[in-house]
Structure 1
Amino acid sequence: MILEALDLGIRAVAYTAGGAILANQLDELFVDVNYLARGLHRRAQRAVPIEALRSVEQKRVAILVPAWHEAEVIEEMLDHNLSTLDYDRDSYHIFCGTYSNDPETQARVDAVVRRAPNIHKVVVPHDGPTSKADCLNWVYQGVILEEQRRGRRFDILLMHDAEDLIHPMSLRLYSLLIPGYDFVQTPVFSLRIPRRALVSGTYIDEFAEHHLKEMLVRQAIGGLVPSAGVGSAFARDAFEDIAVSHAQRAFNTESVTEDYELGLKFRLAGKKVCFACRTVAGNDPAAAGREEYIATREFFPDGFSASIRQRSRWILGITLQTWEQLGWRGSLPVLYCLFRDRKALVTNLLLVLAYALAAYAAVRSSLALATAASWSFAQICPEGSALQWILWFNLAMLVWRAWMKGWLVFRLYGAGHALLSFPRMAVGNLISVAAMGRAVVQYVDHRITGKPLRWLKTAHVFPCPDALRARQPEREPLVLKEQALGPGQLDDAR
């Protein structure tokens, strides 16, 4: 009697969870239909002639790189990108934000500064760690000081991290698209990893889906294209507009996802935004005919705890903090994109319910077999009921979405990782649920106690360290004073 009553209760929960999952699946289907119907999957939509990039006027680019405790990767990152970027060195400068109480990172940056005149060390005027946003705000001030010294402004500001492999043609692409657009975001993909790396493999799957499909649909419908924090290029004047309107703090130091919020600020300010998923013909003769994405590539965490830590910060900033600080604003497409970003609060709960219901059915069936009792799944989900149709639809959509994700992964990484994307869905779900729980606990604690939310740094790994090269005489770093430049001083740099 008790078990039968429990079955009825589980059925009620299944109706609620199944209906909510169905609604979410319809939302995902809307994105897929837009992606296919608009032809966003077609090669012609993303191919850019190499001649157009070769002939573009090279605009002056300032690359902002925050570097707190990045001694293990920063020198290799700078050396590698200096040697591979297909761009005149006089036309781009890299500004590395460091802290006085992080001498190891400073020493590595100094080593590159001595041999590369377009590398600049910016020393934040207070000890770290603070936050990535705080460091970037001071790096931006360092850019302004350099503009004043040279009497010439940069045309483009570009964000990157200390572990990034920047595509050789990316600066040419930004020069091609800006100032036609105020903000250009290029894709971010994981570097190739061993197939056994299940945790970091989930980043392969998710970034392939988001940056080959989701962001293209958002661009097409005029929705929100957030900054990924790397590969984010801004027209200099447009960025200054945002900075001046926020007291020279374009990056919100109260946010743990300042990059996402910056992209939202650009959209809400009416700036022209572009998600530039573009390809060129590959340089490798063995890959003739294959397309090469102009994208940033990097390694992602491969441990459960590191991945949960990173994703909890993303969830905390995107679904909770930005909601609290900026609310629901913008056009209908922007509001729709905000809904898609923030619905993770519900969808992760639905994942827990779905797994719990599946576990209950398995346990109930095992008990029936062990006790020779008469029980079938129909006692939870009667034949021909609305619940049965809901479950069948959700199952069909699960298969469709798994196939879609596998196809997108295949385009970047081949059949092996495409097949592994199916079992990695369960790994990704487990990490997402754990990260959501951590984020909610942190946010509730923040709201109750008033303690500020802390920015959590992710440990970085660079893929190809080089031997140290010969040093040249050290140049003077850009040491900033504890005072932001005002609008009047900005005019001097024009």
Structure 2
Amino acid sequence: METVGVFQQAMICLQHVERELLLFTAFWLLVSAADEAVMDLCWLTLLLRGKARSTRLPADLSKVSLSGRSAVLVAAWQEEQVIGHTLRHALSAWKHKELCLYVGCYANDAATLAAAMAGAGQDTRVRVIIHSEFGPTTKADCLNRLYKAVCEDERRSGIRFRSVVLHDSEDMVHSAELAVIDRALDEADFIQLPVRPEPQASSRWVGGHYIDEFAEAHGKALPVRDALGAAVPSAGVGCGFSREMLARIAHLRRVEGEGGPFAGECLTEDYELGVLIWREGGKGRFVRARDATGQLVATRAYFPGRLEDSVRQKTRWIHGIALQSWDRLGWSRINRSAGVADTWMALRDRRGPLAAMVLASSYLLVLVELLLATIRVGGVGTNPTASPVLQAILAVCLVSLVWRCIMRFLFTAREYGLVEGARAIMRIPVANLVAIVAGYRALANYLRTLRGAAVHWEKTAHHLHPATKAAGYPLHGYSGHGGTTLPDRGTRVPAAA
């Protein structure tokens, strides 16, 4: 009898928990379902109107002259394992004489400095810039130093750059990228090209979930955002800015007491820069294009393959985009011509912590349901009946989950094939786990900063580079000499302190 009483008490407590979790998760999952349904409807409308298709480019654009000089900025700290491959491949893929590639290094990081010099070889289009301070500072601080070097070179030569392009030290570029950005800047102030994470045989699940998320985000969400006229955020790679707009943002930063166009104290300075350009009246565009062989003109890279590294990276993203941008960008400077669309997109950008809470509640609800089912098997309690309204909400959520799986499969399969499309569905729990832990950590870090703690930059470590197997790629736009081994010593290239 006492055992039955204990089970009954446990049943009552669990049923209360079940009810609260069910109401909370059902409501927010319904809101999320409505949000994604509107996004899907917008994308399908673009598709039916022929505006969601990628632009098909003519023959190889790697040798086509640019309409002006282009500065490519790459910040590097402890990137000795990838920076050489990045530079050799980029210099091989980009034949443009108008290119000047600036690499930011630190005097106390000799390995990265040597690898950068080795990767540059004898190519005079490369400038290795040594930061005046010991590293690590922040990526934004290093980029501001490179921007200063660009300004110094302009003063010395008397020739102004037309565009400034950003890349990371682990990126594998497409040969047509600079030409696409150069042409698109005729009608815009900022251009963002797609990012294409590379599959990793050693990390099908953690590393693989990035390909699912980027395939859908850069295949659907950003094209819709662009079509609606909302702000297009910068991904920090494969993005180009008009020289005039970047100078305008740099002037704005100087007025506010900062040292360049990139916000040094912001964890996602790239995201903020893209939004800030739009807020200041500039025009940003997301451009999807395919070369003559059908390959997407995008930046390829390996993303973190370990769970801890992935959580660390996404913690920084959520902290910077969802929480810092709320403080730094706010809501009051929305462009009224696209106010509804931009507010909607800002809400989507800042939903990370809430999404983590809803996902955690959902999995906790599943655990509670399993415990209740186990108790009921022992003959204690009965199955409660949900109200018609709650049943309808749960039915909508179930349909939405099935639809989300279909969309995730379709977008991943379009870029990576049917096998990866099937894996995309199985990787959803992995993506959810990363989102839950990263959301919790981001919120905890943000609360610490509100109490006066300094913003802590957690750099992502890179050990692999997609260019190391470039010789095996049947990709016209990505071919190059990235697969060679770094020499022991590099040839010196022009450097500035």
TM-score, with structure 1 as normaliser: 0.89
Query: Aligned Cα RMSD in Å?
Result: 2.0
Aligned equivalent of 1:431: 434
Residue 315 of structure 2 is aligned to residue 312 of structure 1: yes
Query: Residue 235 of structure 1 is aligned with which of 237, 242, 264?
Result: 242
1:412 aligns with 2:415: yes
Which residue is equivalent to 2:485?
467
Contact 2:318 2:442 in 1 (8 A): yes
Contact 1:225 1:263 (C-alpha < 8 Å) held by counterparts: yes
The 1:112–1:352 alpha-carbon spacing in structure 2 relative to 1, beyond 3 Å, is closer
Residue 56 of structure 1, CA deviation: 6.6
Match of 1:399 in 2: 402
Misfit runs of 4+, over 4 Å: 40-44, 51-58, 469-473
- 2:140 aligned counterpart, secondary structure: helix
1:277 to 2:288 alignment: yes
**In the alignment, structure 1 residue 147 sits paired with structure 2 residue 158:** no
Q: Say whether residues 1:198 and 2:205 are aligned partners.
A: yes
Which segment is superposed worse, 50-59 or 329-338? 50-59
Residue aligning to 1:491: none
Q: 1:10, CA displacement in angstroms?
A: 2.1
Seen in structure 2, the aligned counterparts of structure 1 residues 153 and 324 have a Cα distance that, compared at 3 Å, is same
> What SS class does the counterpart of residue 134 from structure 2 fall into?
coil
Cα separation, partners in 2 of 1:57 and 1:229, compared to 1, 3 Å: closer
- Report what 1:288 is aligned to: none
In the TM superposition, residue 405 of structure 1 has moved relative to its aligned partner by 1.0
Give distance in 1, aligned partners of 2:85 and 2:13.
64
**Structure 2, gaps ≥5 residues long:** 1-7, 469-482
1:162 and 2:169 aligned? yes
Please state how far the C-alpha of 1:194 moved relative to its aligned partner: 2.2
Equivalent position amino acid for 1:268 in 2: R
Q: Among residues 201, 218, 221, which one is paired with 2:225 in the alignment?
A: 218
Q: Mark the CA change 1:439 to 1:478 in structure 2 (over 3 Å): closer, same or farther.
A: same
1:195 to 1:114, Cα distance in 2 relative to 1, 3 A = closer
Query: 1:472 offset after TM fit, Å?
Result: 8.1
Alignment of 1:256-275 (within 5 A): 256-275=267-286
User: Structure 2 CA distance, aligned partners of 1:207 and 1:213?
Assistant: 9
TM-superposed CA distance for 1:151, in Å, is: 2.0
- Which whole-Å CA distance do the structure 2 matches of 1:412 and 1:170 have between them? 18
User: How far is 1:179 from its partner?
Assistant: 2.8
Which residue is equivalent to 1:93? 100
Residue 12 of structure 1 deviates from its aligned partner by 3.9
Distance 1:469 1:11, change over 3 A: closer
| 2:173 partner SS | coil
Matched, 1:187 2:194: yes
Out of 105-114 and 305-314, give the one that drifted further.
105-114
Match of 1:78 in 2: 87
Residues 56 and 175, structure 1, Cα contact 8 Å, conserved in 2: no
Alpha-carbon distance in structure 1 between the residues aligned to 2:116 and 2:77: 11
Q: Which moved more, 1:107-116 or 1:40-49?
A: 40-49
SS in 2 for 1:452: coil
Q: Which of the numbers 453, 456, 465 marks the counterpart of 2:455?
A: 453
Give, in angstroms, the shift of residue 473 of structure 1.
Answer: 5.8
| 1:254-295 deviation digits (Å, cap 9, x = unpaired) | 10111011011111011011000111231xxxxxxxx21100
CA distance in 1, matches of 2:295, 2:20: 50
1:476, distance to aligned residue in structure 2 (A) = 3.6
Q: CA deviation at 1:224?
A: 2.0
Assess if the C-alpha contact under 8 Å between 2:60 and 2:292 holds in 1: no
Structure 2 distance, partners of 1:140, 1:318, is 23
Higher mean displacement: 321-330 or 396-405: 321-330
- Tell me the distance in 2 between the aligned counterparts of 1:108 and 1:336: 44
Per the alignment, residue 19 of structure 1 pairs with: 27
Per mean C-alpha deviation after superposition, the further-off stretch among 108-117 and 94-103 is 108-117
CA contact (8 A) 1:164 1:298 kept: yes
The structural deviation recorded for 1:359 is 1.1
Structure 1 counterpart of 2:342? 334
- Structure 1 residue 69, shift from structure 2 partner: 0.8
| Distance change (3 Å), C-alpha of 1:326 and 1:146 | same
- Paired residues of 2:18 and 2:369 also in contact (CA < 8 A): no
Distance 1:201 1:112, change over 3 A: closer
1:76–1:41 distance in 2 versus 1, CA, 3 Å = farther
**How far apart, CA to CA, are the structure 2 residues paired with 1:13 and 1:114?**
60
Deviation readout 1:178-220 (Å, 9 max, x if unpaired): 1311000000011132286200011010000110000001001
| Mean CA deviation greater in 241-250 or 128-137 | 241-250
Partner residue of 1:29? 37
The 5 A counterparts of 1:330-409 are 330-331=334-335, 332=339, 333-369=341-377, 371-376=378-383, 379=384, 381-382=385-386, 385-409=388-412
Change in CA separation of 1:217 and 1:462 when aligned onto 2, cut-off 3 Å: same
Give the drift of 1:374: 5.0
Amino acid corresponding to residue 261 of structure 2 in structure 1: A
Residues 1:293 and 2:301 aligned together? no
1:64 paired with 2:73, answer yes
Pairs aligned (count): 463
Q: Do the aligned residues in 1 keep the contact of 2:225 with 2:345 (CA within 8 Å)?
A: yes
| Alpha-carbon shift at residue 388 of structure 1 (Å) | 1.1
TM-score scaled by structure 2? Answer: 0.89
2:473 match: none
CA spacing shift, 1:336–1:44, aligned 2, 3 Å? closer
Per the alignment, in what secondary structure is the counterpart of residue 122 of structure 2?
A: coil
CA distance in structure 2 between the aligned counterparts of 1:257 and 1:57, rounded to whole angstroms: 30
CA distance in 1, matches of 2:138, 2:208: 27
CA drift at 1:9 = 4.8
Q: Work out the CA distance in 2 between the residues paired with 1:420 and 1:193.
A: 13
C-alpha separation between the residues in 2 aligned to 1:44 and 1:446? 41
Aligned partner of residue 65 in structure 1, secondary structure: strand
Give the letter aligned to residue 411 of structure 1. R
Look up the equivalent residue of 2:367 and give its one-letter code.
A
Distance 2:398 2:38 in 1: 17
CA–CA separation in structure 1 for the residues paired with 2:278 and 2:222: 14
Distance 2:413 2:130 in 1: 43
**Following the alignment from structure 2 to structure 1, what is the Cα–Cα distance between the partners of residues 170 and 132?**
24
